[in-house]
């Protein structure tokens, strides 16, 4: 058998493309409309350079930190992703990998595995929710996450139901019944390894969202849950503050790009915010988070933990984000490619690549600790930054 280890996230993505049915791979590629934001998330990191030293380099490098009260071995977290059918163990495999590497886990409310199973695999789990359903339902979900042992909550606000991709969206059935199986058969049969990974567990992907279940009821289908979300009016800032008051513990707002919004997130008493454009999957044309980060750090960095997610594929990206003021980053597609390529070991592989990449980058720029990183470590071209709001 070929070596299962891969040396970069790009190689993991190539393997994911080879192994996954086209619809599942397409769901991970995601993106919105013309794909401008998804591309900018990657381009922006490429445009940033690093400022190297050549002697006096540190012999050891320190990258452990704390995020939302959790000690983590490096400044990288698993960003919540609601995807189905990538791997039979899904988010449990991701959680185990993260726990093995001392990394905290964000679990999507649209995930395929229950918060109970995921927290059991990684006690450092933050439960992510959208503003979906009525207030009683929102509170019930938080209560369930608390009872399961979740250490914090992530509320993702940047979703406005953009639809249509110029390259086409994958067809995803409501559930896998005979008709759907027949329709999907050609692409699934072309990926025997993926099929076998499910067949040998005796299960087929059920495309359900167990964390969206109402008390005493079965898990809704992914689309059933999505429909509930689409029917829910968007929250006001007062309602977000109300939700914060329902969770007595660390609370992150994910999806912030503007300075005025960041200030409101501070005002409502959140522990953390993530500068994010939802991996480019939402409002196309939203700038890459790394362009918006310094303005937000300058405005609220002393009042709240500022994280970033979007476009992180290598250790040097993590170092760039930290040098520009992020406390840590969250990764999405990078670990999804790892999961698709090689299950739990593939996610561990990705985390190991990021760790060694952070280490090598810090060495090259002569920094012994992530606490020593500064904006001078990064070189940005003219016109790089985006300052949104005041
Ligand atoms: C397939 C997919 C599903 C996602 N689902 C969710 C979700 O359920 N909740 C959420 O807060 N963010 C979700 N995201 C966004 C990620 O948490 C994160 O913001 C994004 O992936 C970061 O960009 P990156 O993929 O370039 O690392 C999803 C992203 C992808 C790619």
Instruction: Tell me the DSSP string of 17-84.
Output: HHHS-HHHHHHHH---BT-HHHHHHHHHHHH-EE----SS--SS-B--EEETTEEESSSEEEPP----
- The pLDDT value given to residue 180: 85
pLDDT at residue 267 tops 90: yes
Which ligand 1 atom is the nearest neighbour of the CA of 28? 1
- The pLDDT value given to residue 92: 97
Rounded to an integer, what is the distance from CA 320 to the centroid of its chain? 18
Q: What is the three-class DSSP state of 252?
A: strand
Indicate the pLDDT class of residue 158, thresholds 50, 70 and 90: very high
- The pLDDT value given to residue 163: 80
pTM recorded for the entire structure? 0.97
State the distance from the centre of ligand 1 to the C-alpha of 149, rounded, in angstroms: 23
| Substitution site in 27, 43, 79 for ligand 1 pocket (most atoms within 8 Å of beta carbon) | 79
Indicate the pLDDT class of residue 84, thresholds 50, 70 and 90: confident
Rounded to an integer, what is the distance from CA 118 to the centroid of its chain? 15
Give the residues across from 66 on adjacent strands.
Answer: 71
Strands 125-129 and 152-156: parallel
Element (H, E) at 254: strand 251-256
| Substitution site in 16, 42, 82, 223 for ligand 1 pocket (most atoms within 8 Å of beta carbon) | 82
What whole-number percentage of the chain has pLDDT above 90? 89
Overall average pLDDT of the 274-290 stretch? 98
Token pair 């059991």 is found at: 120
- The pLDDT value given to residue 2: 67
CA–CA gap between residue 156 and residue 130 (Å, rounded): 5
Positions annotated as catalytic residues are: 278
Contacts 24+ apart (CB under 8 A), 220-225: 221/174, 221/175, 222/82, 222/84, 222/110, 222/172, 223/172, 223/174, 224/174, 225/109, 225/110, 225/132
What whole-number percentage of the chain has pLDDT above 70? 99
Indicate the pLDDT class of residue 72, thresholds 50, 70 and 90: very high
Contacts of 360 (CB under 8 A, 6+ apart): 315, 316
pLDDT at residue 25 tops 90: yes
Token pair 């698993």 is found at: 78
| Ligand 1, CB within 6 Å, residue ranges | 27-28, 30, 41, 79-83, 108, 110, 128, 156, 254, 276, 278-279, 281, 309-312, 331-334
In tens, the pLDDT along 186-215 reads: 899 899 899 889 989 988 888 899 999 999
What mean pLDDT, rounded, does the chain reach?
96
């Amino acid at each position: 058998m070929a070596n299962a280890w891969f040396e970069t996230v790009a190689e993991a993505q190539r393997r994911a493309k080879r192994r996954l049915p086209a619809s599942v791979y397409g769901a991970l590629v995601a993106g919105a409309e013309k794909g401008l934001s998804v591309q900018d998330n990657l381009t922006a990191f490429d445009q940033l350079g690093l400022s190297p030293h050549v002697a006096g380099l540190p012999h050891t490098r320190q990258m452990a930190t704390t995020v939302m009260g959790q000690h983590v071995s490096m400044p990288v977290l698993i960003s919540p992703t609601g995807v189905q059918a990538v791997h039979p163990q899904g988010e449990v495999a991701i959680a185990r990998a993260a726990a093995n590497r001392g990394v905290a886990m964000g679990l999507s409310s649209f995930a395929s595995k229950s918060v109970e199973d995921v927290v059991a695999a990684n006690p450092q789990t933050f439960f992510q929710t959208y503003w979906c359903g009525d207030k009683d339902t929102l509170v019930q979900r938080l209560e369930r996450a608390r009872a399961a042992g979740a250490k914090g909550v992530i509320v993702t606000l940047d979703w406005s139901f953009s639809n249509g991709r110029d390259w086409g969206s994958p067809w995803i059935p409501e559930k896998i019944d005979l008709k759907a199986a027949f329709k999907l058969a050609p692409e699934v049969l072309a990926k025997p390894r993926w099929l076998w990974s499910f067949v040998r567990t005796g299960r087929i992907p059920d495309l359900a969202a167990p964390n969206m279940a109402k008390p005493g009821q079965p898990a809704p289908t992914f689309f059933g849950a999505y429909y509930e979300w689409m029917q829910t009016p968007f929250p006001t800032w007062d309602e977000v503050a109300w939700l914060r008051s329902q969770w007595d513990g660390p609370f992150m707002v994910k999806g912030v790009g503007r300075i005025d919004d960041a200030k409101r997130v501070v005002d409502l008493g959140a522990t953390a915010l993530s500068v994010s454009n939802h991996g480019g999957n939402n409002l196309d044309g939203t700038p890459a988070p790394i362009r918006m980060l310094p303005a937000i750090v300058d405005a609220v960095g002393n009042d709240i933990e500022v994280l970033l997610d979007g476009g992180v594929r290598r250790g040097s990206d993590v170092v760039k984000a930290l040098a520009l003021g992020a406390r840590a980053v969250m990764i999405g597609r990078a670990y999804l490619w790892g999961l698709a390529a090689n299950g739990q070991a593939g996610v561990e592989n990705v985390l190991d690549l990021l760790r060694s990449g952070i280490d090598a980058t810090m060495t090259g720029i002569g920094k012994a600790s992530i606490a020593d990183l500064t904006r001078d470590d990064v070189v940005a071209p003219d016109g790089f930054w985006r300052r949104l709001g005041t």
